[in-house]
Amino acid sequence: MTVAGVVEHLALDVLAEGDLSTLVTGGYCSDLLSDVLAHAGGGDVWITHQRHMNVVAVAKLKEVAAVVIVRGAAPNEQMVERARAEGVNLLMSGESAFQAAGKLYRLLSG
């Protein structure tokens, strides 16, 4: 499953496009940056409520496949610009973290 596939199945908005052909191997759901740094894996889709610049830095460091911001809480243009510049796939879901994570889990284990 690629990021593009996840975008399609979860009906996500693409805010910044890095490489949508990146392979998705798992997911991680957390709003604590140190927790993501410690436990998220490369290839994970990171589901979060956080929407600020440091999220892009963490996403880049951990080489996550994509960041999904939930509840349709759009980040500011500065963050979107940073994601674009760093080549990070920045996505948005109108649903809750629980719903987005549930759908992603079913998709990846199905």
**108 Cβ contact partners less than 8 Å away, ≥ 6 residues apart:** 1, 24, 26, 27
State the Cα–Cα distance between residues 85 and 101, nearest whole angstrom.
27
Interface segment toward another protein; rule CB under 8 A; list 6-14, 49-57, 66-74, 102-110: 49-57
The residues that bridge with 14 in the sheet, in sequence order, are 91
Residue 57 interacting with another protein (CB under 8 A)? yes
Segment contacting another protein by CB under 8 A, of 20-28, 56-64, 66-74, 97-105: 56-64
Nearest distance, CB of residue 9 and another protein, angstroms: 27
Does the protein bind another protein through residue 61 (CB under 8 A)?
yes
Least gap, CB of 42 to another protein (angstroms): 8
How far apart (Å, rounded) are the C-alpha atoms in residues 26 and 29?
10
